[in-house]
Amino acid sequence: MTGKAELKLDGKTLTLPTVVGSENEVGIDVTNLRKETGAITLDPGYGNTGSCESAITFIDGEKGILRYRGYDIAELAEKSNFIETAYLLIYGELPDHVQLEEFSSLLTENQMLHEGMRFHFESFPPTAHPMAILSAMINAASSYHPNIIHKREERFPYHAARLMSQVRTIAAFSHRKAQGLPVIYPKSSLKYTANFLHMMFSHPGEDYELKPELIRALDLIFLLHADHEQNCSTSTVRMVASSRANLFASASAGVCALWGPLHGGANQAVLEMLEQIHDEGDDGSKFLAAVKDKTTDRRLMGFGHRVYKNFDPRALIIKEQCDKVLSQLHKSDPLLDIAKKLEQIALKDDYFVSRKLYPNVDFYSGIIMRAIGIPLDMFTVMFAIGRMPGWIANYKEVMEDPNSRISRPRQIYTGSTLRNYTPMEARG
Protein backbone atom coordinates (compact mmCIF):
# COMPACT_ATOMS: atom_id res chain seq x y z
CA MET A 1 0.00 0.00 0.00
CA THR A 2 1.64 3.22 -1.15
CA GLY A 3 -0.57 5.55 0.88
CA LYS A 4 -1.20 7.82 -2.09
CA ALA A 5 -3.00 7.99 -5.42
CA GLU A 6 -2.30 10.09 -8.48
CA LEU A 7 -4.89 11.98 -10.52
CA LYS A 8 -4.04 13.45 -13.90
CA LEU A 9 -6.15 16.46 -14.86
CA ASP A 10 -5.46 18.84 -17.73
CA GLY A 11 -1.89 17.67 -17.98
CA LYS A 12 -1.21 18.12 -14.29
CA THR A 13 -0.64 15.33 -11.78
CA LEU A 14 -2.22 15.66 -8.35
CA THR A 15 -1.14 13.43 -5.49
CA LEU A 16 -4.02 12.37 -3.24
CA PRO A 17 -3.57 10.65 0.14
CA THR A 18 -5.31 7.34 0.82
CA VAL A 19 -7.09 6.23 3.98
CA VAL A 20 -6.98 2.55 4.95
CA GLY A 21 -9.64 1.13 7.25
CA SER A 22 -9.17 -1.57 9.87
CA GLU A 23 -10.43 -4.19 7.38
CA ASN A 24 -8.07 -2.87 4.67
CA GLU A 25 -10.72 -0.90 2.83
CA VAL A 26 -9.01 1.84 0.82
CA GLY A 27 -10.41 5.31 0.34
CA ILE A 28 -8.93 8.10 -1.72
CA ASP A 29 -9.06 11.36 0.22
CA VAL A 30 -10.34 14.09 -2.12
CA THR A 31 -10.91 16.68 0.61
CA ASN A 32 -8.61 19.20 -1.09
CA LEU A 33 -9.46 18.30 -4.70
CA ARG A 34 -11.62 21.36 -5.42
CA LYS A 35 -9.27 23.68 -3.57
CA GLU A 36 -6.26 22.54 -5.58
CA THR A 37 -7.85 21.90 -8.99
CA GLY A 38 -11.27 23.57 -9.08
CA ALA A 39 -12.79 20.16 -9.95
CA ILE A 40 -15.08 17.93 -7.90
CA THR A 41 -15.98 14.24 -8.05
CA LEU A 42 -19.35 13.17 -9.48
CA ASP A 43 -20.89 10.03 -7.97
CA PRO A 44 -24.71 9.88 -8.31
CA GLY A 45 -26.17 7.86 -5.45
CA TYR A 46 -22.82 7.99 -3.61
CA GLY A 47 -22.14 4.35 -4.46
CA ASN A 48 -18.38 4.95 -4.58
CA THR A 49 -18.14 7.75 -2.05
CA GLY A 50 -17.12 7.34 1.57
CA SER A 51 -19.05 10.01 3.47
CA CYS A 52 -17.34 9.36 6.79
CA GLU A 53 -15.03 7.19 8.83
CA SER A 54 -17.02 5.02 11.24
CA ALA A 55 -16.22 2.36 13.84
CA ILE A 56 -19.77 0.98 14.13
CA THR A 57 -20.55 -1.53 11.38
CA PHE A 58 -18.48 -3.40 8.79
CA ILE A 59 -19.91 -4.94 5.63
CA ASP A 60 -18.12 -6.95 2.96
CA GLY A 61 -20.76 -7.40 0.29
CA GLU A 62 -18.66 -9.71 -1.87
CA LYS A 63 -18.08 -12.15 0.99
CA GLY A 64 -21.48 -11.75 2.66
CA ILE A 65 -20.03 -10.39 5.93
CA LEU A 66 -21.88 -8.15 8.41
CA ARG A 67 -20.35 -7.23 11.78
CA TYR A 68 -21.47 -4.90 14.55
CA ARG A 69 -18.44 -3.41 16.32
CA GLY A 70 -16.39 -6.40 15.13
CA TYR A 71 -18.91 -9.08 16.19
CA ASP A 72 -20.29 -11.32 13.44
CA ILE A 73 -24.03 -10.95 12.98
CA ALA A 74 -24.61 -14.71 13.14
CA GLU A 75 -22.91 -14.97 16.54
CA LEU A 76 -24.89 -12.03 17.92
CA ALA A 77 -28.13 -13.51 16.56
CA GLU A 78 -27.39 -16.81 18.31
CA LYS A 79 -26.03 -15.55 21.63
CA SER A 80 -27.22 -11.98 22.18
CA ASN A 81 -30.52 -10.11 22.13
CA PHE A 82 -31.73 -6.78 20.81
CA ILE A 83 -31.13 -4.71 23.95
CA GLU A 84 -27.61 -6.03 24.56
CA THR A 85 -26.79 -5.50 20.88
CA ALA A 86 -28.23 -1.98 21.02
CA TYR A 87 -25.89 -1.17 23.90
CA LEU A 88 -22.98 -2.59 21.90
CA LEU A 89 -23.78 -0.40 18.90
CA ILE A 90 -24.31 2.79 20.88
CA TYR A 91 -21.45 2.50 23.37
CA GLY A 92 -18.91 0.37 21.48
CA GLU A 93 -18.56 -2.64 23.78
CA LEU A 94 -20.74 -5.42 25.12
CA PRO A 95 -22.13 -4.42 28.53
CA ASP A 96 -21.34 -6.14 31.80
CA HIS A 97 -24.16 -7.10 34.17
CA VAL A 98 -24.28 -3.69 35.85
CA GLN A 99 -24.18 -1.74 32.59
CA LEU A 100 -26.92 -3.86 31.02
CA GLU A 101 -29.11 -3.51 34.11
CA GLU A 102 -28.65 0.27 34.12
CA PHE A 103 -29.43 0.48 30.40
CA SER A 104 -32.53 -1.69 30.78
CA SER A 105 -33.69 0.40 33.74
CA LEU A 106 -33.32 3.59 31.69
CA LEU A 107 -35.46 2.06 28.96
CA THR A 108 -38.16 1.13 31.49
CA GLU A 109 -38.06 4.54 33.17
CA ASN A 110 -38.52 6.36 29.88
CA GLN A 111 -41.09 4.18 28.13
CA MET A 112 -44.13 6.31 29.01
CA LEU A 113 -45.15 9.18 26.75
CA HIS A 114 -46.14 12.51 28.23
CA GLU A 115 -49.92 12.41 28.61
CA GLY A 116 -50.15 15.53 26.48
CA MET A 117 -49.04 13.41 23.53
CA ARG A 118 -52.48 11.77 23.53
CA PHE A 119 -53.91 14.93 21.94
CA HIS A 120 -51.35 14.75 19.12
CA PHE A 121 -52.42 11.20 18.28
CA GLU A 122 -56.06 12.25 18.19
CA SER A 123 -55.32 14.93 15.58
CA PHE A 124 -54.29 12.37 12.95
CA PRO A 125 -56.99 11.05 10.59
CA PRO A 126 -57.75 7.31 10.71
CA THR A 127 -56.11 6.93 7.30
CA ALA A 128 -52.76 8.34 8.46
CA HIS A 129 -49.84 6.04 7.66
CA PRO A 130 -48.01 4.78 10.79
CA MET A 131 -44.68 6.08 9.42
CA ALA A 132 -46.11 9.59 9.11
CA ILE A 133 -47.31 9.38 12.71
CA LEU A 134 -43.98 7.94 13.87
CA SER A 135 -41.90 10.71 12.33
CA ALA A 136 -44.16 13.48 13.59
CA MET A 137 -44.51 12.04 17.09
CA ILE A 138 -40.77 11.53 17.56
CA ASN A 139 -40.34 15.25 16.95
CA ALA A 140 -43.32 16.06 19.17
CA ALA A 141 -41.90 13.94 22.02
CA SER A 142 -38.75 16.06 22.11
CA SER A 143 -40.87 19.13 22.82
CA TYR A 144 -41.73 17.73 26.24
CA HIS A 145 -38.07 17.39 27.18
CA PRO A 146 -36.16 20.68 26.64
CA ASN A 147 -32.82 19.04 27.50
CA ILE A 148 -33.10 17.02 24.27
CA ILE A 149 -33.43 20.15 22.16
CA HIS A 150 -30.55 21.88 23.93
CA LYS A 151 -28.38 18.75 23.49
CA ARG A 152 -26.78 18.69 26.94
CA GLU A 153 -24.16 16.00 26.42
CA GLU A 154 -24.20 14.71 29.99
CA ARG A 155 -27.82 13.73 29.43
CA PHE A 156 -27.13 11.69 26.28
CA PRO A 157 -27.74 8.25 27.93
CA TYR A 158 -31.19 9.47 28.98
CA HIS A 159 -31.97 10.93 25.56
CA ALA A 160 -30.86 7.72 23.82
CA ALA A 161 -32.87 5.52 26.18
CA ARG A 162 -35.92 7.77 25.90
CA LEU A 163 -35.85 7.63 22.09
CA MET A 164 -35.26 3.88 21.92
CA SER A 165 -37.96 3.16 24.47
CA GLN A 166 -40.60 5.62 23.30
CA VAL A 167 -40.34 4.73 19.60
CA ARG A 168 -42.06 1.38 20.30
CA THR A 169 -44.69 3.11 22.48
CA ILE A 170 -45.42 5.58 19.67
CA ALA A 171 -45.54 2.74 17.14
CA ALA A 172 -47.98 0.70 19.22
CA PHE A 173 -50.18 3.73 19.92
CA SER A 174 -50.31 4.57 16.21
CA HIS A 175 -51.45 1.03 15.43
CA ARG A 176 -54.17 1.19 18.06
CA LYS A 177 -55.24 4.58 16.71
CA ALA A 178 -55.55 3.22 13.16
CA GLN A 179 -57.64 0.28 14.42
CA GLY A 180 -59.93 2.48 16.52
CA LEU A 181 -58.80 0.65 19.67
CA PRO A 182 -58.00 2.11 23.10
CA VAL A 183 -54.29 2.57 23.77
CA ILE A 184 -52.51 0.07 25.99
CA TYR A 185 -49.83 1.46 28.28
CA PRO A 186 -46.47 -0.30 28.72
CA LYS A 187 -45.82 -2.53 31.72
CA SER A 188 -42.65 -2.07 33.76
CA SER A 189 -42.52 -5.80 34.44
CA LEU A 190 -42.09 -6.69 30.77
CA LYS A 191 -38.91 -6.57 28.73
CA TYR A 192 -38.50 -4.49 25.58
CA THR A 193 -39.90 -6.70 22.80
CA ALA A 194 -42.51 -8.41 24.98
CA ASN A 195 -43.75 -5.00 26.10
CA PHE A 196 -44.16 -3.90 22.50
CA LEU A 197 -46.30 -6.95 21.68
CA HIS A 198 -48.33 -6.29 24.84
CA MET A 199 -49.04 -2.69 23.76
CA MET A 200 -49.88 -3.81 20.22
CA PHE A 201 -52.29 -6.65 20.90
CA SER A 202 -53.63 -6.58 24.47
CA HIS A 203 -57.11 -5.36 25.34
CA PRO A 204 -58.33 -3.60 28.49
CA GLY A 205 -58.64 -6.30 31.13
CA GLU A 206 -57.30 -8.99 28.81
CA ASP A 207 -53.54 -9.24 28.28
CA TYR A 208 -52.13 -10.63 25.05
CA GLU A 209 -50.61 -14.12 25.40
CA LEU A 210 -46.86 -13.56 25.12
CA LYS A 211 -45.44 -16.64 23.43
CA PRO A 212 -41.65 -16.97 23.85
CA GLU A 213 -41.13 -18.07 20.24
CA LEU A 214 -42.85 -14.94 18.92
CA ILE A 215 -40.95 -12.66 21.28
CA ARG A 216 -37.68 -14.25 20.21
CA ALA A 217 -38.55 -13.98 16.51
CA LEU A 218 -39.43 -10.28 16.67
CA ASP A 219 -36.42 -9.56 18.89
CA LEU A 220 -34.25 -11.22 16.24
CA ILE A 221 -35.79 -9.09 13.49
CA PHE A 222 -34.96 -5.98 15.52
CA LEU A 223 -31.40 -7.21 16.09
CA LEU A 224 -30.78 -8.04 12.42
CA HIS A 225 -31.96 -4.57 11.39
CA ALA A 226 -30.15 -2.65 14.14
CA ASP A 227 -27.54 -1.15 11.82
CA HIS A 228 -26.36 -1.55 8.25
CA GLU A 229 -23.56 0.92 7.61
CA GLN A 230 -24.18 4.08 5.57
CA ASN A 231 -27.55 3.27 4.01
CA CYS A 232 -30.04 5.94 2.94
CA SER A 233 -31.68 6.51 6.33
CA THR A 234 -28.48 6.31 8.39
CA SER A 235 -26.74 8.73 6.04
CA THR A 236 -29.75 11.02 6.45
CA VAL A 237 -29.46 10.87 10.24
CA ARG A 238 -25.75 11.74 10.01
CA MET A 239 -26.39 14.60 7.58
CA VAL A 240 -29.05 16.14 9.81
CA ALA A 241 -26.84 15.58 12.87
CA SER A 242 -23.98 17.39 11.13
CA SER A 243 -26.04 20.60 11.39
CA ARG A 244 -26.06 19.98 15.16
CA ALA A 245 -29.78 19.20 15.19
CA ASN A 246 -30.93 17.27 18.25
CA LEU A 247 -31.14 13.48 18.44
CA PHE A 248 -34.92 13.28 18.04
CA ALA A 249 -34.97 15.59 15.01
CA SER A 250 -32.21 13.55 13.36
CA ALA A 251 -34.01 10.26 14.03
CA SER A 252 -37.27 11.70 12.73
CA ALA A 253 -35.51 12.50 9.46
CA GLY A 254 -34.22 8.93 9.38
CA VAL A 255 -37.80 7.65 9.65
CA CYS A 256 -38.79 9.74 6.61
CA ALA A 257 -35.89 8.33 4.57
CA LEU A 258 -36.72 4.79 5.67
CA TRP A 259 -40.33 5.21 4.60
CA GLY A 260 -39.39 5.03 0.91
CA PRO A 261 -40.34 1.79 -0.87
CA LEU A 262 -36.77 1.33 -2.15
CA HIS A 263 -35.47 1.27 1.43
CA GLY A 264 -37.63 0.32 4.40
CA GLY A 265 -40.63 -0.74 2.35
CA ALA A 266 -38.88 -3.72 0.78
CA ASN A 267 -40.30 -6.39 3.12
CA GLN A 268 -43.81 -5.04 2.54
CA ALA A 269 -43.23 -5.30 -1.21
CA VAL A 270 -42.20 -8.95 -0.78
CA LEU A 271 -45.45 -9.86 0.96
CA GLU A 272 -47.51 -7.97 -1.60
CA MET A 273 -45.74 -9.96 -4.32
CA LEU A 274 -46.42 -13.28 -2.59
CA GLU A 275 -50.08 -12.36 -2.08
CA GLN A 276 -50.39 -11.49 -5.76
CA ILE A 277 -48.87 -14.84 -6.79
CA HIS A 278 -51.22 -16.69 -4.42
CA ASP A 279 -54.27 -14.79 -5.66
CA GLU A 280 -53.41 -15.83 -9.22
CA GLY A 281 -53.34 -19.51 -8.21
CA ASP A 282 -49.65 -19.79 -9.01
CA ASP A 283 -47.00 -21.63 -6.99
CA GLY A 284 -44.35 -19.17 -8.17
CA SER A 285 -43.25 -20.98 -11.33
CA LYS A 286 -45.27 -18.84 -13.74
CA PHE A 287 -44.29 -15.70 -11.90
CA LEU A 288 -40.56 -16.42 -12.26
CA ALA A 289 -41.01 -17.15 -15.95
CA ALA A 290 -42.68 -13.74 -16.28
CA VAL A 291 -39.82 -12.09 -14.38
CA LYS A 292 -37.36 -13.45 -16.94
CA ASP A 293 -39.55 -12.24 -19.80
CA LYS A 294 -38.43 -8.69 -20.61
CA THR A 295 -41.79 -7.89 -22.19
CA THR A 296 -43.49 -8.03 -18.76
CA ASP A 297 -43.19 -5.67 -15.82
CA ARG A 298 -42.91 -8.41 -13.18
CA ARG A 299 -40.13 -7.90 -10.62
CA LEU A 300 -38.79 -10.39 -8.10
CA MET A 301 -38.86 -8.65 -4.71
CA GLY A 302 -36.66 -9.72 -1.79
CA PHE A 303 -33.83 -11.00 -3.98
CA GLY A 304 -30.56 -9.21 -4.52
CA HIS A 305 -29.08 -6.34 -2.54
CA ARG A 306 -27.29 -3.09 -3.36
CA VAL A 307 -24.39 -4.11 -1.13
CA TYR A 308 -24.34 -7.92 -0.96
CA LYS A 309 -23.10 -9.72 -4.07
CA ASN A 310 -23.55 -13.05 -2.33
CA PHE A 311 -26.11 -14.27 0.21
CA ASP A 312 -27.31 -11.61 2.62
CA PRO A 313 -25.99 -13.13 5.90
CA ARG A 314 -29.13 -11.96 7.68
CA ALA A 315 -31.32 -13.94 5.27
CA LEU A 316 -29.77 -17.25 6.32
CA ILE A 317 -30.53 -16.47 9.98
CA ILE A 318 -34.07 -15.20 9.45
CA LYS A 319 -35.05 -18.13 7.19
CA GLU A 320 -34.29 -20.61 9.98
CA GLN A 321 -36.26 -18.52 12.47
CA CYS A 322 -39.18 -18.29 10.06
CA ASP A 323 -39.41 -22.08 9.85
CA LYS A 324 -39.29 -22.33 13.65
CA VAL A 325 -42.04 -19.79 14.23
CA LEU A 326 -44.49 -21.41 11.84
CA SER A 327 -43.80 -24.91 13.16
CA GLN A 328 -44.14 -23.83 16.80
CA LEU A 329 -47.38 -22.03 16.03
CA HIS A 330 -48.60 -25.11 14.17
CA LYS A 331 -49.47 -22.66 11.45
CA SER A 332 -49.14 -23.37 7.75
CA ASP A 333 -48.89 -20.42 5.43
CA PRO A 334 -49.37 -20.73 1.67
CA LEU A 335 -47.25 -17.62 1.22
CA LEU A 336 -44.31 -19.36 2.88
CA ASP A 337 -44.75 -22.30 0.53
CA ILE A 338 -44.61 -19.90 -2.41
CA ALA A 339 -41.56 -18.18 -0.93
CA LYS A 340 -39.74 -21.50 -0.61
CA LYS A 341 -40.66 -22.40 -4.17
CA LEU A 342 -39.32 -19.09 -5.46
CA GLU A 343 -36.10 -19.61 -3.51
CA GLN A 344 -35.60 -23.18 -4.80
CA ILE A 345 -36.13 -22.21 -8.43
CA ALA A 346 -34.14 -18.96 -8.31
CA LEU A 347 -31.11 -20.58 -6.65
CA LYS A 348 -30.84 -23.15 -9.44
CA ASP A 349 -31.79 -20.99 -12.42
CA ASP A 350 -28.79 -19.52 -14.21
CA TYR A 351 -30.78 -16.37 -15.02
CA PHE A 352 -30.90 -15.44 -11.32
CA VAL A 353 -27.61 -17.05 -10.25
CA SER A 354 -25.61 -15.23 -12.93
CA ARG A 355 -27.12 -11.96 -11.74
CA LYS A 356 -26.36 -12.87 -8.11
CA LEU A 357 -29.99 -12.50 -7.13
CA TYR A 358 -29.96 -14.28 -3.78
CA PRO A 359 -32.64 -13.93 -1.07
CA ASN A 360 -32.12 -10.97 1.27
CA VAL A 361 -33.39 -10.33 4.80
CA ASP A 362 -36.65 -8.80 3.56
CA PHE A 363 -37.63 -12.04 1.85
CA TYR A 364 -38.43 -13.84 5.12
CA SER A 365 -38.95 -11.10 7.72
CA GLY A 366 -42.36 -10.23 6.27
CA ILE A 367 -43.56 -13.83 6.66
CA ILE A 368 -42.60 -13.79 10.36
CA MET A 369 -44.34 -10.49 11.01
CA ARG A 370 -47.42 -11.75 9.18
CA ALA A 371 -47.44 -14.83 11.46
CA ILE A 372 -47.17 -12.63 14.55
CA GLY A 373 -50.16 -10.59 13.37
CA ILE A 374 -48.43 -7.33 12.53
CA PRO A 375 -50.37 -5.57 9.74
CA LEU A 376 -48.71 -4.79 6.44
CA ASP A 377 -48.57 -1.01 6.89
CA MET A 378 -46.62 -1.52 10.15
CA PHE A 379 -43.78 -3.49 8.55
CA THR A 380 -41.64 -0.42 7.90
CA VAL A 381 -42.34 0.78 11.44
CA MET A 382 -40.83 -2.49 12.72
CA PHE A 383 -37.76 -1.70 10.63
CA ALA A 384 -37.54 1.76 12.23
CA ILE A 385 -37.74 0.35 15.76
CA GLY A 386 -34.95 -2.09 14.97
CA ARG A 387 -32.77 0.51 13.24
CA MET A 388 -33.00 3.04 16.09
CA PRO A 389 -29.83 1.86 17.92
CA GLY A 390 -27.82 2.25 14.72
CA TRP A 391 -29.15 5.75 14.15
CA ILE A 392 -28.38 6.69 17.74
CA ALA A 393 -24.86 5.25 17.46
CA ASN A 394 -24.20 7.18 14.25
CA TYR A 395 -25.61 10.38 15.75
CA LYS A 396 -23.30 9.93 18.75
CA GLU A 397 -20.31 9.35 16.47
CA VAL A 398 -20.98 12.56 14.56
CA MET A 399 -21.34 14.58 17.75
CA GLU A 400 -18.15 13.19 19.28
CA ASP A 401 -15.99 13.70 16.18
CA PRO A 402 -13.86 16.84 16.71
CA ASN A 403 -13.39 17.11 12.94
CA SER A 404 -17.06 16.84 12.08
CA ARG A 405 -18.30 19.46 9.61
CA ILE A 406 -21.77 20.22 8.32
CA SER A 407 -22.55 18.06 5.30
CA ARG A 408 -22.62 20.11 2.15
CA PRO A 409 -22.36 18.12 -1.11
CA ARG A 410 -21.43 19.86 -4.35
CA GLN A 411 -23.13 19.51 -7.73
CA ILE A 412 -22.45 19.72 -11.44
CA TYR A 413 -24.76 22.46 -12.70
CA THR A 414 -26.52 21.61 -16.00
CA GLY A 415 -29.07 24.43 -16.20
CA SER A 416 -29.20 27.59 -18.30
CA THR A 417 -26.27 29.96 -18.41
CA LEU A 418 -26.69 33.68 -17.63
CA ARG A 419 -29.96 35.10 -18.99
CA ASN A 420 -31.57 38.54 -18.85
CA TYR A 421 -34.99 39.05 -17.28
CA THR A 422 -37.81 39.42 -19.82
CA PRO A 423 -40.72 41.67 -18.78
CA MET A 424 -44.17 40.04 -18.71
CA GLU A 425 -45.51 42.08 -21.65
CA ALA A 426 -42.62 40.89 -23.84
CA ARG A 427 -43.20 37.18 -23.16
CA GLY A 428 -46.27 36.91 -25.37
The set of catalytic residues is 305, 362
Distance (Å, rounded) from C-alpha 234 to C-alpha 232? 6
- Helices and strands (DSSP H and E) totals, the chain: 19, 6
Sequence length of the chain is: 428
Contact between 153 and 109 under an 8 Å Cβ cutoff? The reply is: no
Distance (Å, rounded) from C-alpha 365 to C-alpha 381? 13
CA quadruple 88, 91, 95, 101: dihedral sign: negative
Contact between 40 and 412 under an 8 Å Cβ cutoff? The reply is: yes
CA 212 distance to own-chain centroid: 25
Phi, psi dihedrals of residue 51, rounded to the nearest 5°: -85, -15
The Cβ of residue 332 has, within 10 Å, a number of other Cβ atoms equal to: 9
Contact between 117 and 94 under an 8 Å Cβ cutoff? The reply is: no
Distance (Å, rounded) from C-alpha 396 to C-alpha 156? 9
In which region does residue 279 sit, left (phi positive, over 0), alpha (psi from -120 to 50) or beta (all else)? alpha
Q: Is 232 exposed, middle or buried (0-12, 13-18, 19+ CB in 10 A)?
A: middle
Q: How many degrees, rounded to 5, is the angle at CA 338 between CA 336 and CA 339?
A: 60
Label the pairing between strands 12-20 and 57-60.
unpaired
Cα end-to-end distance, the chain, whole Å: 64
What are the C-alpha distances in Å from 79 to residues 70, 94, 100, 120, 214? 15, 12, 15, 40, 17
Contact between 381 and 130 under an 8 Å Cβ cutoff? The reply is: yes
